[in-house]
Amino acid sequence: MPIKFDKNTRQFHLYNDDFSYIIAVYDNGSIGQLYFGEPLSPNKDYPFLAPIPFAGFSNNIRSAARFEYPCYGRGDFRLPAFSVRLADGAGVVEPRFEDYRVYPGKNTIPGLPSTYTEGTDEAETLEITLLDKLSGLKIILSYTIFSAYACIARHTRFENTGKERIILESALSLSIDLPDSAWNMLTFTGSWAREFAVSDAPLRAGFQGVHSAFGVSGSIANPSLIFRRPETTEHRGEAFGLCLLYSGNFIACAEVDCWDITRIRTGINPETFSWILESGGSFDTPEAALGWSKSGLNGLSRVFHRLFRTHLESGVWRDRERPVLLNTWEGAYFNFTEEKLLAMARKAVDLGVEIFVLDDGWFGKREDETTSLGDWVPNRDKLPHGIAGLAEKITAMGLKFGLWIEPEMVSEKSHLFEAHPDWAVGVPGRTRTEMRRQFVLDMGRAEIVDYLFEAISSVISGAKISYIKWDMNRFITEPFSLALPPDRQGEFFHRYCLGVYSLYSRLTAAFPEILFESCASGGARFDAGILGFAPQGWLSDNTDAVQRLEIQRGASYFYPLNCIGAHVSTVPNHQTRRLTPLLFRAAASFFGDLGFELDPTKLSEEEAETIKECIVFYKKYRRLFQQGVFSRLDATADTAAWMVSSEDKKSAIVAVYKLNAKPNQKPFRVRLAGFDRAKVYHVSLWEPTHRAGLTFDETDKCLNCGLRGGDELTSCGLLIDNTSFAVSIIGDFYPELFLLEAAE
């Protein structure tokens, strides 16, 4: 029984073998955060963890108290978890403990993505009900503890049981107060083509954090934060992280107060939100997952990878190996004919590709970015036999066929805009901000979602389509809905997000066999909310392998490898003009869902042979790459390294990427992680990287290969010898892929 309530101390203890989370009902009926982290005995209570009693506050004594879902205006001067405006204009409520219930498993959240259980023994849920008697505002705090993970999923439900309207001015998903501030905070920030840059800095007094106001979660910051103790490394020490399952405007922030207590909060961005609760109405916040680890940042990533891969990704594709695809974007952009596509597809079959994806440019009069979004009918000049005819021919070659769509958008030059100019987001009388020559449809309106469901369904059902890439290429400006009354315009952004989720959930239910990949100008909506619908996402438009290593590494802190679309493109790279060897590009893309984004008819024979070899290798090990246990390894400033190993620790692949050739460097060791120290492993080099490799003696013998103990690999590691003569002739950008198999 992982949730206990002690009636005397009024403490709730949520626990499993790896984790404890303790909260209490304080004397005044508010809910306090007492502890979370390494498991504590469930057979004790922990009164000493509660703060000083609440009688007779000095001006800021409440700031020494630690709360679970703090409110505004009652002496806690830190930023609250929610705020309201009551009918009389007051913003003050006193939510007090009313009741609680514990139930096995976990419920879904209406209209929103959430983690789920498949058996009631996988998790237990605690719901604590608070009531503000005067207004009738009920707040239901929901906590699910999963039996197998050091993780809690939280969300909050508001119900107006009073007679008067209540306006929610902020309604966050999670707020938690820590007893100290000796933590480093990691954020994942960037922009288009440089998503998921990791910044890691000690917490300081005051407010700090990230947010989005784009209408999507955005590439400027991911809705996730990690906190590590200063001494915590990738492999050792305490860390926790929170990740919001939401694809709209968010905040994720920390506030260190005058008592050195740290309040961490995440949820819908209050700056762009308000919601009216009429009498009898309710509102559900998105879910936030809080994970904890004492095994460093890799340990924390494993908690989130396992949770998201098996309890958030859903549908038939959750456990299936993801196909190797060829996407036409960088290989053809808008410039293609059926003939050209068929030639590309023929070559793709030869290479071993499994799915051919036609990207932007197939519909309306689309020859560039300026027209036709919304007109989801094939461009007959380019495709005389339509999508159905093209798909027929491509599937006859033995490939699957996939298609790009951007349902949330409309071009000014389109039949859809002519017919429904009022469907595009904008404020009447004001000019719309220009972005990529397209407008956003008001996804908060049910009739627009209905229309899109029909339009996209007819494209999908009219042809042999196995995969959909759902793109979203502009942010939302002039937020305003013609369908909402003036006092509900604050609901615009959240309603937009709910509309997107509704379309996703209808399409994925109607076409359960289709693999959906999310995209928003690369990774601008690469978040755990969309992951609940689309089991993989296009991480970045930056296909330069050197930068991909950074971007994929950043994403790996929370997101499992099987949700990361990773494509090999041509050189000079289209984003950086950098030249990298094909093998290096492929070795970076192996750690994700491998794809290609180039014109295969332009490959030299040697390149085609290398790609074939890479695809054969990837297919052989793809379950390991996509579903294995991933670890970031320590290397040098000029080298990157990571690995995947099987859950049973019997096999692993280690990749060491040499980035920047320097002569006469000292050798170094890459120590492996997540291994069985007692096992003996047979170590070999993947043949193509052997040919290009670095760690040989004069007789071309791989120094690391042979039988090696798990203890030795973990404590001493693989030797990467940059001193070898080979370095001077190899130059920059070489990978070495080591294969490890446990000896019987």
Catalytic positions, written as ranges: 471, 541
CB 276 within 8 A of CB 487: yes
Which of 500, 519 has the CB closer to ligand DGJ? 519
Is residue 359 close enough to count as binding ligand DGJ by CB under 6 A? yes
Strands 166-178 and 275-277: antiparallel
Which of 170, 540 has the CB closer to ligand DGJ? 540
As a whole number of angstroms, the distance between CA 483 and CA 318 comes to 37
Least distance to ligand DGJ, CB of residue 543, Å: 9
Least distance to ligand DGJ, CB of residue 404, Å: 6
Which of 254, 409 has the CB closer to ligand DGJ? 409
CB 242 within 8 A of CB 151: no
Least distance to ligand DGJ, CB of residue 474, Å: 10
Strands 239-244 and 151-160: unpaired
Angstrom distances, CA of residue 149 to CA of 3, 310, 322: 14, 11, 25
Interface pattern 326-345 for ligand DGJ (x via CB under 6 A) = ---x----------------
Least distance to ligand DGJ, CB of residue 305, Å: 24
CB under 8 Å to 121, separation ≥6 — which residues?
A: 104, 147
Residue of 668, 730, 740 whose CA lies nearest to 709: 740
> Segment near ligand DGJ (CB under 6 A), from 37-45, 294-302, 516-524, 600-608?
516-524
Residue type, 374: G
Which of 373, 452 has the CB closer to ligand DGJ? 373
Is residue 519 close enough to count as binding ligand DGJ by CB under 6 A? yes
The tokens for 408 are 């949330």
Is residue 404 close enough to count as binding ligand DGJ by CB under 6 A? yes
Least distance to ligand DGJ, CB of residue 437, Å: 11
Which of 475, 538 has the CB closer to ligand DGJ? 538
As a whole number of angstroms, the distance between CA 225 and CA 269 comes to 15
CB under 8 Å to 129, separation ≥6 — which residues?
A: 97, 98, 99, 100, 138, 139, 140, 141
Angle in degrees, 0-180, between the axes of helices 492-510 and 446-461, rounded to the nearest 10: 30
Least distance to ligand DGJ, CB of residue 192, Å: 9
Least distance to ligand DGJ, CB of residue 361, Å: 8
As a whole number of angstroms, the distance between CA 355 and CA 326 comes to 6
- 655 three-class SS: strand
- 429 three-class SS: coil
> Segment near ligand DGJ (CB under 6 A), from 63-71, 285-293, 411-419, 518-526?
518-526
Q: How many other C-beta atoms can be found within 10 angstroms of the C-beta atom of residue 582?
A: 22
| Residue at token pair 């219930």 | 101
Is residue 408 close enough to count as binding ligand DGJ by CB under 6 A? no
Is residue 646 close enough to count as binding ligand DGJ by CB under 6 A? no
Which of 30, 212 has the CB closer to ligand DGJ? 212
Strands (E), 408-514: 409-410, 439-440, 467-470
Which residue's beta carbon is nearest to the bound ligand DGJ?
360
Least distance to ligand DGJ, CB of residue 359, Å: 5
Dihedral through CA 86, CA 73, CA 48, CA 145, nearest 10?
40
On the 0-12 / 13-18 / 19+ scale of CB atoms within 10 A, 158 is buried
Strands (E), 86-136: 96-104, 123-132
Least distance to ligand DGJ, CB of residue 523, Å: 8
Least distance to ligand DGJ, CB of residue 473, Å: 5
The tokens for 275 are 């919601």
Strands 184-189 and 224-228: antiparallel
- 152 three-class SS: strand
> Segment near ligand DGJ (CB under 6 A), from 182-190, 514-522, 605-613, 620-628?
514-522
The tokens for 449 are 């979602």
Least distance to ligand DGJ, CB of residue 369, Å: 7
> Segment near ligand DGJ (CB under 6 A), from 117-125, 296-304, 515-523, 699-707?
515-523
Residue type, 502: S
Interface pattern 465-484 for ligand DGJ (x via CB under 6 A) = ------x-x-----------
- 28 three-class SS: coil
Which of 473, 631 has the CB closer to ligand DGJ? 473
As a whole number of angstroms, the distance between CA 530 and CA 501 comes to 8
Is residue 196 close enough to count as binding ligand DGJ by CB under 6 A? no
Q: If you count them, how many residues does the chain have?
A: 744
Which of 460, 519 has the CB closer to ligand DGJ? 519
Which of 519, 694 has the CB closer to ligand DGJ? 519
CB 342 within 8 A of CB 358: no
Given 521, 542, 547, 645, the residue binding ligand DGJ (CB under 6 A): 521
Given 215, 522, 537, 710, the residue binding ligand DGJ (CB under 6 A): 522
Given 360, 442, 550, 721, the residue binding ligand DGJ (CB under 6 A): 360
On the 0-12 / 13-18 / 19+ scale of CB atoms within 10 A, 543 is buried
CB 190 within 8 A of CB 197: yes
Question: How many of the chain's residues bind ligand DGJ (CB under 6 A)?
Answer: 11
Interface pattern 91-130 for ligand DGJ (x via CB under 6 A) = ----------------------------------------
The tokens for 25 are 């009902």
Angstrom distances, CA of residue 727 to CA of 638, 658, 663, 696, 743: 13, 10, 7, 11, 32
As a whole number of angstroms, the distance between CA 378 and CA 709 comes to 58
Least distance to ligand DGJ, CB of residue 115, Å: 27
Least distance to ligand DGJ, CB of residue 503, Å: 18
CB under 8 Å to 157, separation ≥6 — which residues?
A: 139, 140, 142, 282, 283, 284, 285
Is residue 599 close enough to count as binding ligand DGJ by CB under 6 A? no
Which of 18, 195 has the CB closer to ligand DGJ? 195
The tokens for 142 are 């929901």
Given 308, 538, 559, 591, the residue binding ligand DGJ (CB under 6 A): 538
Footprint of ligand DGJ on 600-619 (CB under 6 A): none
As a whole number of angstroms, the distance between CA 256 and CA 258 comes to 7
Is residue 541 close enough to count as binding ligand DGJ by CB under 6 A? yes
Is residue 531 close enough to count as binding ligand DGJ by CB under 6 A? no
Peptide linkage before 2 cis (omega within 30 of 0): no
CB under 8 Å to 574, separation ≥6 — which residues?
A: 330, 543
For ligand DGJ, the binding residues (CB under 6 A) are: 329, 359-360, 404, 471, 473, 519, 521-522, 538, 541
